[in-house]
């Protein structure tokens, strides 16, 4: 059977990931949706997309599933850049354990960013947004309190963003990935909140009377995050 | 798409792969038809459904079944924290405040899920209790069980997201509600882990812990998994990342059957 090849040339590009050896742990991925399947699904929904970066410098996150993935990628870029700076210039009043934990958080966010970059590039060629330019002038990285306050903003916002965007995904495999990431963001949020005020991991400022975390629409989230990003983001068609 | 290659590779890790499909002949016949039609675009969808049939759950649970499953876990958690509060071993101050906060949320989730199931003309499950004989007398072990329940809850909700895709109750997205509960469970888990001097996230080593915690982090996809969407996080992202960071940066699902297994939450329900 190993010599049989079907339509290899036509499909070589998007099917590439499928050719890599499958480990037992990962092959269940195929049961949800294959990488190839999502590639086609994604490429089908952007025919009338505008260009990704408009002449005035606005970054259009796009529509459909790829819009949601670009949206997540934009937020992960912001978080990753923030924690990279935290790691590079740790606040003087961080404890050794806090420094160690924030180095781990920095790795998680860098992984999320790099993962989205790889997945979007693979599954929706030519539709990924460029690298964004963070603006952290409002953050005093030398002060623990300033770093924690900003981290809390980003993590709570990230959780609300994923919670609000899940319903816009059409591909189950991507929904699961988003779910796998959002709970890690919620763990970060709880950790940072407890550092600011012990026991505030899920207080009434963030969890409502129904016991629900926040869920925010993409446009709301981008408005909240915009002051930290140089490029103007357009999330108006995310998931549409 | 070279499906023969995929099946061949699957057969290397799963000798029974062809037995999982209706029949060997049916697979190749379908493939032939697809190719004849020149419907290349349809092929990946076909492959996806093929593997879903072979490896997925045999039947997709109904929305009410999914919500009752979630309700069962919430009732179990609620009763556990009630027992924990009644046992009186939680230190006053931040610890007692945290347990009260978590109990309040579980009670709210029970009400919300019950109301939603009724609104969908279903019957909410009731009378799910934490097994008295499994309730630990000492506070440190109570926290171990709390961690097990919370991290199981996170994995359980995540495992049902796909079943709630596009499901509505009136104008409310049930998927969004489930996600909003899911992240609260993750916040709980993070805090309980902190009370036990553990990192808020799940390090790879947790998958090798002894029971009762170990099984919470195992399953078909273990929490020390480093491969996401066929990408090896440690080696295929340009920058190398440690296996521990790769594992901790993504939480993993548990299936309904895995959660309800006696080695996990299923074993904590009063019979």
Q: Among A107, A180, A186, whose Cβ lies nearest the Cβ of B183?
A: A186
Cβ distance A162 to B179 under 8 Å?
yes
pLDDT band (50, 70, 90) for residue B153: very high
| Residue that wins the pLDDT comparison between A41 and B104 | B104
Strands (E) in chain A, as ranges, are: 59-60, 233-234
H helix intervals, A89-139: 96-123
Angle between helices A144-165 and A218-225 (to 10 degrees): 160
What confidence score (pLDDT) does residue B8 get? 52
What confidence score (pLDDT) does residue B59 get? 74
Q: Average pLDDT of B160-165?
A: 97
What confidence score (pLDDT) does residue B5 get? 52
What confidence score (pLDDT) does residue A50 get? 60
Task: State the nearest Cα–Cα gap between B244 and chain A, in angstroms.
Answer: 9
Per-residue pLDDT for B55 more than 80? no
In chain A, residues with a C-beta closer than 8 Å to the C-beta of B154 are 183
Cα distances from B43 to residues A2, A34, B22, B37, B254, in angstroms, run 20, 11, 18, 10, 29
Q: Average pLDDT of B240-250?
A: 98
H helix intervals, B88-242: 94-119, 139-160, 174-195
In chain B, residues with a C-beta closer than 8 Å to the C-beta of A216 are none
Range name among A64-78, A199-213, B53-67, B71-85 with the lowest pLDDT average? B53-67
Q: Enumerate the β-bridge partners of residue A234.
A: A60
The percentage of residues in chain B with a pLDDT greater than 90, rounded to a whole number, is 77
Longest dimension (CA), chain B: 72
Neighbours of B44 (CB within 10 A): 24
Cβ distance B79 to B129 under 8 Å?
yes
Under 8 Å CB-to-CB from A37, ≥6 apart: which residues? A171, B44, B45, B47, B48
Q: Which residue of B has its CA nearest to A101?
A: B199
Cβ distance A85 to A150 under 8 Å?
no
Per-residue pLDDT for B20 more than 50? no
In chain A, which residues have pLDDT < 70?
1-50
What confidence score (pLDDT) does residue B49 get? 45
Q: Average pLDDT of B83-95?
A: 98
In B, residues 98-157, which contact A (CB 8 Å cutoff)? 98, 101-102, 104-109, 111-112, 154, 157
What confidence score (pLDDT) does residue B34 get? 42
Q: What is the ipTM of this complex?
A: 0.83
Q: Which residue of A has its CA nearest to B223?
A: A180
Under 8 Å CB-to-CB from B127, ≥6 apart: which residues? B75
- Output the CA angle A144-A148-A150, nearest 5 degrees: 120
Every domain of chain B and the residues it spans: 3-268
Q: Among A11, A179, A203, whose Cβ lies nearest the Cβ of B161?
A: A179
Under 8 Å CB-to-CB from B59, ≥6 apart: which residues? none
Rounded Cα distance between B270 and B267, Å, is 8
What is the model's pTM? 0.82
Strands (E) in A28-173, as ranges, are: 59-60
Rounded Cα distance between A213 and A217, Å, is 14
Rounded Cα distance between A228 and A83, Å, is 13
Calculate the average pLDDT of chain B: 86
| Residue that wins the pLDDT comparison between B229 and A27 | B229
In chain B, residues with a C-beta closer than 8 Å to the C-beta of A27 are 9-10, 13-14
Rounded Cα distance between B223 and B42, Å, is 33
Q: What per-residue string of b and e applies to B204-218 under the rule 16 or more CB within 10 Å gives b?
A: bebbeeeebbebbbb
Chains A, B: CB contacts under 8 A, how many?
A: 281
């Amino acid at each position: 059977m190993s010599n049989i090849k079907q339509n290899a040339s036509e499909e070589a590009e998007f099917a590439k990931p499928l050719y890599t050896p499958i480990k037992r742990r990962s092959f269940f991925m195929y049961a949800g949706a294959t990488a190839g399947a999502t590639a086609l699904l994604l490429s089908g929904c952007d025919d009338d997309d505008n260009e990704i970066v408009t002449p005035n410098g606005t970054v259009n996150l796009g529509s459909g599933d790829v819009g949601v993935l670009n949206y997540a990628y934009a937020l992960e870029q912001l978080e990753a850049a923030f924690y990279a700076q935290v790691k590079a210039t740790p606040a003087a009043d961080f404890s050794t354990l806090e420094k160690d934990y924030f180095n781990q958080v920095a790795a998680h966010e860098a992984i999320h960013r790099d993962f989205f970059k790889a997945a979007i590039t693979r599954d929706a060629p030519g539709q990924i947004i460029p690298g964004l330019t963070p603006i952290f002038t409002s953050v005093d990285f030398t002060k623990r309190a300033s770093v924690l306050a900003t981290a809390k903003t980003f993590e709570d916002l990230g959780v609300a963003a994923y919670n609000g965007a899940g319903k816009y995904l059409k591909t189950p495999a991507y929904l699961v990935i988003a779910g796998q990431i959002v709970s890690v963001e919620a763990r970060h949020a709880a950790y940072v909140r407890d550092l600011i005020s012990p026991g505030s991991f899920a207080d009434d400022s963030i969890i409502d009377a129904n016991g629900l975390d926040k869920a925010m629409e993409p446009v709301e989230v981008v408005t909240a995050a915009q002051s930290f990003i140089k490029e103007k983001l357009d999330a108006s068609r995310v998931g549409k | 798409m070279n499906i023969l290659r995929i099946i061949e590779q699957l057969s290397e890790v799963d000798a029974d792969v062809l037995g999982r499909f209706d029949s060997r002949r049916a697979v190749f016949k379908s493939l032939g038809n697809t190719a004849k039609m020149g419907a290349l675009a349809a092929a990946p969808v076909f492959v996806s459904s093929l593997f879903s049939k072979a490896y997925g759950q045999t039947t997709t649970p109904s929305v009410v079944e999914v919500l009752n499953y979630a309700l069962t876990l919430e009732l179990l958690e609620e009763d556990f924290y009630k027992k924990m509060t009644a046992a009186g071993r939680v230190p006053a101050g931040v610890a007692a405040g945290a347990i009260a906060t978590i109990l309040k949320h579980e009670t709210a989730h029970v009400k919300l899920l019950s109301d939603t199931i009724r609104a969908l003309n279903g019957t909410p499950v009731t009378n799910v209790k934490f097994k008295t004989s499994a309730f630990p007398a000492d506070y440190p072990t109570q926290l171990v069980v709390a961690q097990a329940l919370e991290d199981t809850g996170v994995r359980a909700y995540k495992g049902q997201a796909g079943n709630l895709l596009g499901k509505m109750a009136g104008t409310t997205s049930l998927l969004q509600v489930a996600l909003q509960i899911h992240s609260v469970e993750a916040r709980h888990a993070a805090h309980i882990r902190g009370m036990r001097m553990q990192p808020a996230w799940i390090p790879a080593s947790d998958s090798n812990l002894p029971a009762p915690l170990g099984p919470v982090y195992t399953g078909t996809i273990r929490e020390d998994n480093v491969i996401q969407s066929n990408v090896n996080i440690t080696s295929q992202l340009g920058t190398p990342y440690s296996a521990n960071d790769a594992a901790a940066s993504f939480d993993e699902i548990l299936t309904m059957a895995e959660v309800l297994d006696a080695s996990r939450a299923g074993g904590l329900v009063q019979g």
